Amino acid sequence: MIKRMLFASVFAFAAGTAVHAQSSNSNSPGPSANMQLDLINQDISSDRRDIRHDKRDLRKDEAALRSDLAALAQAIKNGAPQATIDALKATIAAERKDIRRDKADIRHDRRDLAVDRLKQDIAKDKRDLKRDRADIRRDRADLAHDKAALKQDVASGAPAATIAALKADIRHDRADLRRDIADAKHDKADIHHDFSVLLDAKHDIADIRRDAADLRHDRAALRTDVKDGASAAEIAKLRTDIRRDVADLRHDRADLRSDLHHK
Question: What are the tens digits of pLDDT across the range 3-35?
Answer: 444 444 444 444 444 434 444 444 455 556 678
Mean pLDDT of the region 203-216: 90
Residue 153 has pLDDT above 90, yes or no: no
The pLDDT of 188-196, averaged and rounded, is 89
Q: What pLDDT digit, counting tens, does each position of 81-124 carry?
A: 999 999 999 999 999 999 999 999 999 999 899 889 888 988 99
| Dihedral, 100, 106, 111, 114 alpha carbons, nearest 10 | -160
Length, in residues, of the chain: 263
Give the pLDDT score at 26. Answer: 44
Residue among 161, 114, 126 at smallest CA distance from 260: 114
What pLDDT shows up at residue 246?
Answer: 92
Number of separate domains in the chain: 1
CA separation for the pair 95, 83 (Å, rounded): 18
Report how far residue 208's alpha carbon sits from residue 21's, in angstroms, rounded to the nearest whole number. Answer: 41
- Strand ranges in the chain using DSSP code E only, listed in sequence order: none
Full domain range(s) for residue 99: 2-261
Torsion of CA 9, 11, 15, 16, to 10 degrees: 20
